[in-house]
Amino acid sequence: MATRKLYDEDAYAREFDATVVEVHETEKDGEKYYDVILDRTLFFPEEGGQTCDRGNLRLGGLVPAEIEEEISNRPQAWNVEDVQIDGENKIHHILDQPIDIGTRVHGEIDWNHRFSNMQQHTGEHIFSGIVHAKKGYANVGFHLSDSVVTMDYDGELTDEEIQQIEYEANEAIIKNIPVHCYYPELEALERMDYRSKIQIDGAVRIVEISGVDCCACCAPHVKTTAEVGMLKVIGHQRYKGGIRLTILCGFRALRDYDRVSGIATMASQELSVSQDALVDAVLKQKEDMANLKVALGEANTRVMNQELSQVDLEAENVVLFSENVPNLVMRNAVNTLMEKHSGYAAVFNLDGNRYQFIIGSKERDARELSTLLREKYGAKGGGSSDMVQGSMEKETPMMEKEIRELFNNGIS
């Protein structure tokens, strides 16, 4: 028999009583779980793009005195790890501990999680209904996770259109419009103009927000639009010829505002400017850093050229160390050294805590030295026999000394 969906009857109920009618052992990621079907449930399963309810079950009802001692060592409560629905409308509760068929249980859902999902889902209906009315687009994708909501439409929206639809969605929210969830008779359903992403067999549950949206949907919703609280679009991108939007509603939107506000407050304090001046301050700091990087690169290039002029021309192998030197300057330095020295010529440039290196040789295979650095220091990179380039972590303060000794003494 199909599981009785108590969440269809009252989306605001938090507790219920039920009887275990089926139990099957199952396994996930090497762990044993128990697939349990109840005769009735408040737990909404993962369905329609929405995550399932969370919560727990515990023994319900009075326990006969003759078996009270017998069951005292058995589990008295069960965490509901997952909830799924099958093609026969049986709802499967995945429990962390075994339970017997016939056990009477008392279930309790995580109400904060349920209500948050209800806020998000009703908010999505409001936004999608307005998109459909204004642009004629269909909602071809929907995902409600525990953190964000994404909606995919089969047409594009400009930034200005998104902003306007967001405003109209919040207007609908503050109007406190009732949200009606019901199963219409087949004759009435055939006359009804409603949105649906899929072909539905059997009874169709309609979620109707007068003047805003009418859509087939299986999920719990809030009673009125006002309970959505607010809706905020936090991101959008082109997707499969249309657009994907990310929204937050209600308490999730409030928490995100708190997060963003906290970041802005910290940044304004660090830069000693008001929040209104943050963008200009960041752009100015970015420009200053770019100028400093150019100046530092020029200074280090002069140092590099000075070092090149002081290299012992009799040396067979030569290695130079630098900081924040552009790759082109490193390559030019190696080319200069290769013209004057018969062995290996190398430049190791320290960028943060990582060496970038270029090694070249006219008479030897530079790849052999690259292999040696990979074996000794885990260096990564590649190239030809004439020249290789790569990088490796500066693991200890002594690495420069070790590399110099390698070039001076360790290369045969």
Rounded to 10 degrees, what is the CA torsion of 178, 181, 185, 186? 110
pLDDT of 70 reads 60
323, amino acid identity: E
Q: How far is CA 330 from the centre of its chain?
A: 39
Q: Which CATH number fits domain 115-261: 3.30.365.10, 3.30.980.10, 3.40.50.300, 3.20.20.10?
A: 3.30.980.10
What are the residues whose beta carbons fall under 8 Å from the beta carbon of 349, sequence distance 6 or more?
Answer: 321, 322, 323, 324, 325, 330, 355, 356, 357
- Architecture (CATH level 2) of domain 4-109: Beta Barrel (2.40)
CB neighbours of residue 282 within 10 Å: 13
For residue 358, with 0-12 CB atoms within 10 Å meaning exposed, 13-18 middle and 19 or more buried, which class applies? buried
Q: In terms of residues, how long is the chain?
A: 412
- Among all chains, which residue has been given the structure tokens 């709802």? 91
pTM: 0.72
pLDDT of 23 reads 94
pLDDT tens, position by position, 89-106? 999 999 989 998 999 999
pLDDT of 65 reads 56
Token pair of 35 as six digits: 């697939």
Q: What class is the 297-409 domain?
A: alpha beta
pLDDT tens, position by position, 129-166? 999 999 999 999 999 998 889 999 999 999 999 999 99
pLDDT of 216 reads 93
Rounded to 10 degrees, what is the CA torsion of 108, 113, 119, 124? -120
**Packing angle between helix 366-377 and helix 399-409, nearest 10 degrees?**
140
pLDDT of 67 reads 52
pLDDT of 411 reads 63
Token pair of 17 as six digits: 């009583």
Q: Residue 252: which of 279, 226, 234, 274 has the closest Cα?
A: 234
104, amino acid identity: R
Sheet-wide strand order for 242-249:
139-144, 149-153, 242-249, 231-239
Per-residue pLDDT of the chain (412 residues; tens, 9 = 90+): 899 999 999 999 999 999 999 999 988 888 899 999 999 999 999 998 899 999 999 987 555 555 556 666 667 889 999 999 998 999 999 998 999 899 999 999 999 999 999 999 999 999 999 999 999 999 999 999 988 899 999 999 999 999 999 999 999 999 999 999 999 998 888 888 898 866 666 789 999 999 999 999 999 999 999 999 999 999 999 998 899 999 999 999 999 999 999 998 998 888 888 888 888 989 998 999 989 888 887 887 788 888 888 888 888 899 999 887 888 889 999 999 999 898 899 999 988 889 999 999 998 999 988 898 998 899 999 999 999 999 999 878 888 888 888 887 656 5
Domain ranges of the chain: 4-109, 115-261, 297-409
Q: Residue 239: which of 153, 132, 160 has the closest Cα?
A: 153
Q: Residue 15: which of 26, 23, 7 has the closest Cα?
A: 7
Secondary structure letter of residue 228 according to DSSP: G
Q: Which ranges constitute the DSSP H helices of 196-276?
A: 250-271
